[in-house]
Amino acid sequence: MQPMTVSPRALTRRRLLATVIASGGALALDACSRSASVQGPVSATASPPPSTSPSGAPGLTPSGAVTATAAPTRTGGGQFSWKRYQGKTIRVLVANQEATSFIERRIKEFEELTGIKVSWEKLPEDQQRQKLTVEFTSGASDIDVFSSHTGQQGAQFMRAGWYEPIKPWVDNPELTAPDYDFADFDANALKQLATVSDTLVGIPDYAITFALYYRKDLLGAAGLSAPTTMDELEAAARQLKRDGTFGITMRGKQAAAVGTWAPFMLNMGGSWLDERGKPNMSSPQNIEAFELYGRLLREYGPPGAINMNWPEAQDIWLQGKAAFFSDTSAFVTNFEDPSKSTVVGKVGYALLPVGKAGTERPGLNGWILSLYAKAPNKEAGWYFIQWASSKQMCVAKQGAGIQQARASAWRSEEFQKGLGAKHPDLVAVLQQAYAKGKADLYPPYVNVAKARDVIGAVIVTAIQGGDVKAAAAQADRDLATLQVVGACACQPESMPR
């Protein structure tokens, strides 16, 4: 893809960023603040799945009311018109992801529809997060629309007043197209991914889950079925490890591994915090989850697992060198792409097995598109968000393998004739994840990045065969210095976001 042209506005912003960084600009947050909820390519079957929601889509329930705190001004212009803000220019800053790349390829369609010009910036996730924080902290940003992950940024952004409440914009008939159909969005996805402090702060750009993928051919040849318990998973990984094939591949790199370890913790009855709201890494359930995860990679996984993030783990899977793989459902289209994968047609899909506690906690994940609370062009920015999340766009994204939270995307003919038609097991996994999934895959601390580093250190210790109990106890002590989401900031955090 050709690089975007740099406008004079961009040059001005660069000078601004340099000035803010050089001056040591830091984010100042109130000592006590509002609480925040914590927390993410597929296709469906040609025939309806066994269980459907009232909206007719697997696992999707219509969206309900979401509390908001402010309302956009009525224009007095009567009916909605896509051309109302023609001539405006909006600035959009997003993370580099498959969903945003899809939108980028169709920006000219939005510009032709509305007459609004888009100044588009797309950066790697970490860089995009940093740039948002620096610009918003400066108070002089001209960003209108941005992408974010509420599990990692929601508490911080909400406390700082950077999110514009979205529901009032949805409810304004002068500013929202009559066919937008907000009720078409899955209510649970909106609550889990796009709501902070009971306030809708964005619209999902995509919504995914974490699952277990297995080689149907290898399990079949060994007389095995998909594991339904953690004990069965470990036994199968042990049995299927052989020359040239690892039993399992997963993330093992410190902070990155927390996202894939969390479903193990939750399914084994563990939790981030105890009943007093204190760090809970040393609980028996969490210790068991650490030890199992570490043992799977140490004894049945590839060498050097502590250096593997998702790209390395997925590459081993796509090369046909592992019997199991656990990670996000965003990757599933790669599994069935002959240009990328050697396991086309050989992959089975399942929820992560339950542990001894017998719990099943599918995790929901995803990013949202939001309005900056101080955006200079909020109306035009909202036009962009509703276009990017319209039924037509969501159906197109779903057809391209980017999992969506709209019921209509699941019902679409393109979706039903795609990957899901060949994989009803995949549809069942996603259906269950939407129905009861929780966006609790990230530790509930305002400084999520620091918390992930702390917890990830225990995972690394487990993979290396070290003293997990001692490492978990140290993690609890370190986490105790961080502020829990929704709690009063009684002491400074040891590391800024």
- Does residue 133 fall inside a structural domain? yes
- Does residue 427 fall inside a structural domain? no
pLDDT digits (tens, 9 = 90+) for 219-232: 999 999 999 999 99
- Does residue 425 fall inside a structural domain? no
Mean pLDDT of 234-242: 97
| Model confidence at 31: pLDDT above 60 | no
Confidence band of 388 (pLDDT split at 50, 70, 90): very high
Query: Phi and psi at residue 398, in whole multiples of 5°?
Result: -60, -40
- Per DSSP, 387 falls in state H
Q: Say yes or no: 167 and 214 in one domain.
A: no
Q: Say yes or no: 171 and 294 in one domain.
A: no
- On the CB side of 255, CA atoms within 13 Å amount to 9
Residues in Cβ contact with 323 at an 8 Å cutoff, skipping those fewer than 6 apart: 214, 215, 218, 219, 236, 237, 240, 241, 245, 246, 247, 248
The residue ranges of DSSP E strands in 160-290, in sequence order, are 195-196, 199-200, 203-204, 208-215
Which amino acid is it at 115?
A: G
- Does residue 146 fall inside a structural domain? yes
Q: Say yes or no: 248 and 310 in one domain.
A: yes
- Picking from 62-71, 306-315, 426-435, which range would have the lowest pLDDT averaged per residue? 62-71
Q: Looking at residue 145, what is its pLDDT?
A: 98
- Read off the tokens for 493: 């955090």
Which residue's structure tokens are 């209509």?
408
Q: Say yes or no: 146 and 183 in one domain.
A: yes
- Higher pLDDT among residues 392 and 18, named by residue: 392
Q: Say yes or no: 202 and 232 in one domain.
A: no
pLDDT digits (tens, 9 = 90+) for 41-54: 233 333 333 333 33
- Does residue 196 fall inside a structural domain? yes
* Average pLDDT of the chain, as a whole number: 84
Q: Looking at residue 62, what is its pLDDT?
A: 56
- Read off the tokens for 83: 């051309």
- Read off the tokens for 107: 């920006």
Mean pLDDT of 414-436: 82
Q: Say yes or no: 74 and 120 in one domain.
A: yes
Confidence band of 494 (pLDDT split at 50, 70, 90): very low
pLDDT digits (tens, 9 = 90+) for 255-304: 999 999 999 999 999 999 999 999 999 999 999 999 999 999 999 999 99
pLDDT digits (tens, 9 = 90+) for 142-152: 999 999 999 88
pLDDT digits (tens, 9 = 90+) for 89-131: 999 999 999 999 999 999 999 999 999 999 999 999 989 999 9
Q: Say yes or no: 264 and 304 in one domain.
A: yes
Q: Say yes or no: 136 and 213 in one domain.
A: no
- Read off the tokens for 255: 């902070």
Q: Say yes or no: 344 and 388 in one domain.
A: no
- Quote the domain boundaries for residue 324: 208-363+441-479
Going by C-alpha positions, the residue among 395, 419, 219, 430 that lies closest to residue 337 is: 419
Which amino acid is it at 377?
A: N
Q: Say yes or no: 357 and 370 in one domain.
A: no
The CATH number covering residue 284 comes to 3.40.190.10
Q: Say yes or no: 359 and 376 in one domain.
A: no
Which residue's structure tokens are 């699941």?
410
Q: Looking at residue 162, what is its pLDDT?
A: 97
Q: Looking at residue 483, what is its pLDDT?
A: 84
Q: Looking at residue 3, what is its pLDDT?
A: 35
Q: Looking at residue 59, what is its pLDDT?
A: 53
